[in-house]
Amino acid sequence: MSSTPSGDGGQAPPAVELRGITKRFPGVVANHDINISVAPGTVHAIVGENGAGKSTLMKTLYGMHRPDEGTIHVNGRQVKFTSPSDAIRNGIGMVHQHFMLADNLTVLENVVLGAERLHGIGARARAEILRLSGQYGLGVDPDRLMEDLGVGDRQRVEILKVLYRGARTIILDEPTAVLVPQEVDELFDNLRELKREGLTVIFISHKLDEVLSVADEITVIRRGTTVATADPGTTTARELATLMVGGELPVPELRESTVTDRVVLSLDGVTVRSGDGRAVVDGVGIDIHEGEIVGIAGVEGNGQSELIEAIMGMRPVSSGRIRLGGQDITGWHTLKIREAGVGYIPEDRHRHGVLLESSLWENRILGHQTKRPSVRGPWIDRAGARADAERIVSEYDVRTPNIDVIADALSGGNQQKFIIGREMSGEPRFLVAAHPTRGVDVGAQSAIWEQLREARAAGLAVLLVSADLDELIGMSDTLHVILRGRLVAQADPTSVTPEQLGSAMTGAGLGGDGGTQTTEGGSGDDTADRDGGGA
Amino acid sequence: MTDTATRPGAPRILIPALLIALLGTIVTVALDTVLLWWAALIIGVVLAFAAVVLVDRRMPEAERTGASGTKEEGTTLHRTLVVPTALVLSVVSGLLLAWFLDLSLIEPVAAALGAFAGSAAALLLYRRLSAMLALSFAAVFAAGIIAIAVTALVLFFSGIAPGATFARMVEYGTRPNSLVQIINDGTTYYLAAVAVAIGFKMKLFNIGVDGQYRLAALMAAAVGGWLVLPPVLSQIVIILVAVAVGGAWAGIAGYLKVTRGVSEVISTIMLNAIATGITAYLLNTDRLAVEISTNNIGTPPLPEGSWIPGIPAAFLGSEREIFGLVLLAAAVGVGYAVMLNRTRFGFELRATGQSQSAAEASGVNVKKMVFLSMLFSGMVAGLVGMPQLLGSSHYYALDFPTGIGFIGIAIALLGRNHPVGIAFAALFWAFLNQAAGILPFDGIPQEIAVIAQATIVLTVVVVYEVVHRWGRRYQQQQIGKELGTTVAGPAEETAPTGAASDSGDGTGDDTPGTGRGGEAK
């Protein structure tokens, strides 16, 4: 493995060089002593596990905050950025993980928005967009309405936006997180095109296979600092993984099947309509059994969130039935559903899972405010809630000084572990787990998987929604694919590959040996229930 | 690290506490013979504080109230801010108590008791004051100083000597009769501010306390005046009518918000205007009113059996009486505190205020909470006019005090919606009002009090928020240090989702890391 300290090519000065960057945040040192040198005209990948400090570093480079220590050099010149516009002026542009595009505007309007002074907003701007699009092979049509575009196209518009503003170095923050495998390949073709035209790309990811296939040089970040620089030609994914986590990467997997034939949650033709009457969840039917984890795969925004909210009673069901243990819970209030033994790990824990400004023990009460031990009648049972919060902290290995700290002071992984501990208390029958390991560090990730496995062994039924295909395949007993609100395919997690799943997620069908529409009991017993795709 | 389990044994603290309090008292009494009482007291309490610092290490671990549980001893913040704040607070509390007792007791006894209390406070504060609480006090001090400075500047540029004016205000404001007036006004203000604070805790802005209390007072006065009931029952009926009318009036706004999504700010403002119209319509000799004097009409005066007797204020050296309903205000304050911190309803209220989405996902019926908190806010607002009605004027007439609802908003802001904070804020507000009453006699515009009040609300809100945010960040850093982690917590997934400001030549105003920082009230 070649782990030279930093690129010392010799000829041209590095396009971007970071020296000794340290950035502290409330509660944490996000980056310390970062040294990276990016050669011009290359794709430079920065890899690290979730929470290693990659995004923080890139925000520093993009001028969104200033480093506490260290210097930034662009083309050999030392620069100081106080805002993103400074970075743009120095030819550095950034494509964020979450797109910042206005749906109701055209591509042209989105691109010129905020950069009207460059080429106006009319014919000149259009000509410039077409020129850039042609030069870099982006294939962007300036007159399409943004809401008509798919995720891959949107990303290309974001890249074009950056190019339009004159960037010579482009930062891509986890660009593949929202893409299915086929779109990833297209993106990589675009990146190679950019490179050929002499641009520099900084590519942030934690997916090692992707990094190895596209990068010219790889910098590994672990726990906020650069630990190595590697050459993709001579490094393997395994070696990178070891560098990233300082040990072996945990793999999500289930052991022997614990699926029983007792149905806990049964969805029957559940349809949810959005405000304008469109069916965002369309005739979904699933049975989830005791001891079974049912995974839902799908590109984000295909109705997963709405389905979960419908099950949790946060969104009205327009037709269909939801039954919990034989009891019809359709139209019940969230509180009643929770009291009936449903746990909920929300996809956005800051919005739905915790009160950031309240202490941990108060967060213990949240969502369980009618149940012991946190409440006695109409009164809060402080002692009970505190004792149980202590129990969660120790049983679920929540790293915190004590239970009086506010939730905001904890890292994402520890917040998530606390939420899981809370939702597992009171012995739920059924658990909705939406992206349970999103934004969580590796250690917490394997702990969370282990807790799900244990709960499953104890007879819990779980609905697992995730964007991480490896997690879905590894943790599910049964796997459904959701597309535009419908279950379009059922896959066997023991044999399906992420690529097959990805193609099913875009509507191309599973193809190959994944076994569309008909399933067999994955691991020993018969889990074949009603197939998805109901009209 | 986790030392929360062991609560300090009470007896082990009691003896050193008594000794320290006695030390402070004895020093004060001894020095009182040679020095002025207040100088003696300051020295006594400071010595007691020093003793606390020395002794503290041998005492069991204390739990700090409101702390987020980090070890605070030894940090810079603790040394430079918390300890001095604790010292100042204990001296001030001793002085205030001594001064207050001095009004009714002989001076040496008052000083001794003040010193005793101050020394005891020294022990308590040194051991229990958390950084966050100290920061709050420091913020209020700072805001007070800024407000005084601004007022002084205004005076100075108007050609009036600031020092003399302030001295005159303090002198007049602390006269016995002024004190009674301050307590009475403060009682009314307190009720109004609690009414507003209930809404604020849910991020609901009940601007309509004013209309609610005026309408409630009119109705209650009319019922009490026309309907002659036996004593006790009469008072109860009057108060219940006021509560019901206030609640109903605010409930309209709550209902509109829940069912039709009408902003409660708009609807309560409108309801204020409607309430004004209704009171003007009803307060007519053809309807609810009778002629009270040549120039005034109002509801028929309450029979004496329906009054609520005042509390003689001889202990303040005044002939006048304190509203009997000051006890009701205190009860409302206690009820508010208990409701907020100890009940499920209060928890759901705070949860909804902090994060509506999280509350909803947790099964809180947000709509019900909105309606109920609006209703409760209005019910407390209904009480606002009661001390005045039952304790002093005994009828609702054209000259019934108005505008208290708006004062309540300012006081709730000043008191940070905290039951105790509001009490101090209400008294302070009443003090400024009362103290400014003397100024016209000296040819100084009375409006100086309004300027002071406005400045202090603004500065408190701003300074408090700034200091609080800074303090929280500091504390998070302490926790980070304690855990020794270097994992990026806040940076992940907080990629700005707001405007596209950073894509163009915008200002790039995203403050990463604190992307979801606390919301200023």
Q: Tens of pLDDT along B221-236?
A: 999 988 888 888 999 9
Helix (H, G, I), strand (E, B) or coil at A286: strand
User: Average pLDDT, whole number, for chain A?
Assistant: 82
Residues in chain A with CB shorter than 8 Å from the CB of B343 are 378-380
Quickly state the pLDDT bin for B513 (edges 50, 70, 90): very low
Chain-chain contact of B4 with A404 (C-beta, under 8 angstroms)? yes
Give the CA distances from residue A316 to residues A221, A319, A329, A438, B461, in Å, rounded to whole numbers and listed in that order. Answer: 45, 9, 12, 27, 41
Res B6: pLDDT? 41
CA distance A437 to chain B (A): 13
The whole-angstrom separation of Cα A28 and Cα B512 is 14
Residues in chain A with CB shorter than 8 Å from the CB of B512 are 56, 59, 64-65
- A100's torsion region: left (phi>0), alpha (psi -120 to 50) or beta? beta
The whole-angstrom separation of Cα A32 and Cα A243 is 17
Chain-chain contact of A84 with B506 (C-beta, under 8 angstroms)? yes
Res A138: pLDDT? 83
Give the CA distances from residue B9 to residues B12, B13, B61, in Å, rounded to whole numbers and listed in that order. Answer: 6, 7, 10
Chain-chain contact of B502 with A357 (C-beta, under 8 angstroms)? no
Residues B180 and B256 in one domain: yes
The 8-class DSSP code of residue A509 comes to: -
User: Average pLDDT, whole number, for chain B?
Assistant: 82
| Arithmetic mean of pLDDT, A66-94 | 87
Question: Best interface-test mutation with A: which of B465, B485, B510 has the largest number of A CBs within 10 A?
Answer: B485
Chain-chain contact of A441 with B486 (C-beta, under 8 angstroms)? no
Would B243 be classed as within a structural domain?
yes
The dihedral sign for the CA sequence B341, B344, B346, B351: positive
Res B511: pLDDT? 34
| Arithmetic mean of pLDDT, B269-274 | 95
Chain B, residues 443-472, CB within 8 A of chain A, namely 472
Residues B262 and B401 in one domain: yes
User: Quick check: A158 and A95 in contact, CB under 8 A?
Assistant: yes
B65 at interface of A, judged by CB pairs closer than 8 A: no
Quickly state the pLDDT bin for A519 (edges 50, 70, 90): very low
Residue type at B511 in one-letter notation: T
The whole-angstrom separation of Cα A16 and Cα A36 is 8
Quickly state the pLDDT bin for A2 (edges 50, 70, 90): very low
Residues in chain A with CB shorter than 8 Å from the CB of B71 are 401
Query: For B344, which of A30, A333, A379 is closest by C-beta distance?
Result: A379
Question: Best interface-test mutation with B: which of A68, A160, A364, A369 has the largest number of B CBs within 10 A?
Answer: A369
> pLDDT tens across B43-68, in order?
888 888 888 877 776 665 555 554 54
> pLDDT tens across B321-368, in order?
889 899 999 999 999 999 999 999 999 999 999 998 999 898 899 999
Report how many domains make up chain B: 2
Would B202 be classed as within a structural domain?
yes
Of all residues in chain A, what percent carry a pLDDT higher than 90? 10
B6 at interface of A, judged by CB pairs closer than 8 A: no
Q: How far is CA B141 from the centre of its chain?
A: 15
Same fold, A16-245 and A262-341+429-535: yes
Residue A165: pLDDT above 70? yes
The whole-angstrom separation of Cα B312 and Cα B331 is 20
Residues in chain B with CB shorter than 8 Å from the CB of A98 are 495, 497
SS3 sequence, B10-76?
A: HHHHHHHHHHHHHHHHHHHHHHHCCCCHHHHHHHHHHHHHHHHHHHHCCCCCCCCCCCCCCCCCCCH
Number of neighbours of residue A260 by Cβ within 10 angstroms: 14
User: Quick check: A422 and A365 in contact, CB under 8 A?
Assistant: no
The whole-angstrom separation of Cα A95 and Cα A191 is 13
CA distance B6 to chain A (A): 13
The whole-angstrom separation of Cα A384 and Cα B342 is 13
Nearest by Cα to A287 from A317, A306, A263, A312 = A263
B230 at interface of A, judged by CB pairs closer than 8 A: no
* Phi, psi for residue A26 in degrees, rounded to 5: -50, 120
Query: For B486, which of A101, A224, A369 is closest by C-beta distance?
Result: A224
Helix (H, G, I), strand (E, B) or coil at A201: strand
Query: For A346, which of B361, B486, B516 is closest by C-beta distance?
Result: B361
User: Quick check: A460 and A259 in contact, CB under 8 A?
Assistant: no
User: Quick check: A278 and A482 in contact, CB under 8 A?
Assistant: no
Q: Delimit the domains of chain A by residue range.
A: 16-245, 262-341+429-535, 349-426
User: Quick check: A320 and A269 in contact, CB under 8 A?
Assistant: yes
Give the CA distances from residue A385 to residues A246, A390, A410, in Å, rounded to whole numbers and listed in that order. Answer: 37, 9, 19
> pLDDT tens across A192-232, in order?
888 888 889 998 887 777 888 888 999 988 877 888 888 88
> pLDDT tens across B432-455, in order?
999 988 988 888 888 888 888 888
User: Quick check: B226 and B218 in contact, CB under 8 A?
Assistant: no
**Lookup result for tokens 């002794």:** B55
Chain-chain contact of A412 with B489 (C-beta, under 8 angstroms)? yes
Q: Residue B112 has which token pair?
A: 């001794």
Q: At what angle do helices B209-226 and B233-260 cross, to 10 degrees?
A: 150
The beta-carbon contacts of A445-454 under 8 Å, at least 24 apart in sequence, are A445/A50, A445/A250, A445/A413, A446/A250, A447/A396, A447/A397, A447/A417, A448/A416, A448/A417, A448/A420, A449/A250, A449/A252, A449/A474, A449/A475, A451/A396, A451/A420, A451/A424, A452/A293, A453/A254, A453/A255
Chain B, residues 317-346, CB within 8 A of chain A, namely 341-346
Which residues, including other chains, have CB under 8 Å from residue B265's CB and lie 6 or more apart?
B205, B207
Residues B108 and B236 in one domain: no
Range in A178-182, A430-434, B263-267 the model is least confident about: A178-182
Sheet-wide strand order for A319-324? A279-289, A263-273, A319-324, A327-328
Chain-chain contact of A28 with B501 (C-beta, under 8 angstroms)? no
Would B341 be classed as within a structural domain?
yes
Last residue of a domain, one of B414, B443, B472: B443
CA distance B405 to chain A (A): 29
Chain-chain contact of B491 with A100 (C-beta, under 8 angstroms)? no
Res A400: pLDDT? 78
The whole-angstrom separation of Cα B337 and Cα A98 is 42
Residue B254: pLDDT above 90? yes
Fold designation for A262-341+429-535: Rossmann fold (3.40.50)
User: Quick check: A344 and A432 in contact, CB under 8 A?
Assistant: yes
Quickly state the pLDDT bin for B282 (edges 50, 70, 90): very high
CA distance B382 to chain A (A): 25
Would B67 be classed as within a structural domain?
yes
Residues B222 and B309 in one domain: yes
The CATH number that applies at residue B381 is 1.10.3470
Q: CA dihedral defined by B356, B358, B361, B363, rounded to 10 degrees?
A: -70
CA atoms within 13 A on the CB side of B104: 12
Would B250 be classed as within a structural domain?
yes
Helix (H, G, I), strand (E, B) or coil at A266: strand
Domain boundaries A16-245, corresponding CATH code = 3.40.50.300
The whole-angstrom separation of Cα B122 and Cα A365 is 35
* Phi, psi for residue B108 in degrees, rounded to 5: -60, -40
Residue B397: pLDDT above 80? yes
Residue B277: pLDDT above 90? yes
Q: Is the peptide bond before B176 cis (omega within 30 degrees of 0)?
A: no
**Structural domain harbouring B22:** 10-129
Nearest by Cα to A402 from A413, A383, A416, A386 = A386
Q: Which of B17-21, B152-156, B500-504, B512-516 has the highest mean pLDDT?
A: B152-156
Residues in chain B with CB shorter than 8 Å from the CB of A99 are none
CA atoms within 13 A on the CB side of B300: 13
Question: Best interface-test mutation with B: which of A61, A227, A368, A408 has the largest number of B CBs within 10 A?
Answer: A408
> pLDDT tens across A242-287, in order?
777 666 666 777 667 788 888 899 999 899 988 778 888 988 999 9
Q: How far is CA A405 from the centre of its chain?
A: 27
Number of neighbours of residue B6 by Cβ within 10 angstroms: 9
Chain-chain contact of A405 with B473 (C-beta, under 8 angstroms)? no
Chain-chain contact of B491 with A53 (C-beta, under 8 angstroms)? yes
Q: Is beta strand B296-298 parallel, antiparallel or unpaired with respect to A16-25?
A: unpaired
Q: How far is CA B357 from the centre of its chain?
A: 29
Chain-chain contact of B363 with A411 (C-beta, under 8 angstroms)? no
Residues B119 and B179 in one domain: no
Identify the helix (H) or strand (E) that includes residue A382. Answer: helix A382-395
Residues B182 and B119 in one domain: no
**Lookup result for tokens 């001893």:** B73
Chain-chain contact of A96 with B479 (C-beta, under 8 angstroms)? no
Nearest by Cα to A223 from A241, A246, A240, A203 = A246
Q: CA dihedral defined by B120, B126, B130, B135, rounded to 10 degrees?
A: 100
Which residues, including other chains, have CB under 8 Å from residue A119's CB and lie 6 or more apart?
A112, A125, A127, A128, A164
User: Quick check: A256 and A498 in contact, CB under 8 A?
Assistant: no
Residue A289: pLDDT above 60? yes
Res A442: pLDDT? 67
The whole-angstrom separation of Cα B492 and Cα A140 is 30
Range in A245-254, A294-303, A384-393 the model is least confident about: A245-254
pTM: 0.76
> pLDDT tens across A299-324, in order?
777 888 899 999 999 888 998 899 99
B294 at interface of A, judged by CB pairs closer than 8 A: no
Identify the helix (H) or strand (E) that includes residue B143. Answer: helix B131-157
Would B350 be classed as within a structural domain?
yes
User: Quick check: B489 and A416 in contact, CB under 8 A?
Assistant: no
Residues in chain B with CB shorter than 8 Å from the CB of A412 are 489, 492-493
The whole-angstrom separation of Cα A457 and Cα A477 is 12
Residue type at A332 in one-letter notation: W
Residues B261 and B191 in one domain: yes
User: Quick check: A374 and A365 in contact, CB under 8 A?
Assistant: yes
Question: Best interface-test mutation with A: which of B6, B475, B493, B516 has the largest number of A CBs within 10 A?
Answer: B493
Last residue of a domain, one of B401, B417, B443: B443
Chain-chain contact of A404 with B365 (C-beta, under 8 angstroms)? no
Residue B103: pLDDT above 80? no
Would B519 be classed as within a structural domain?
no
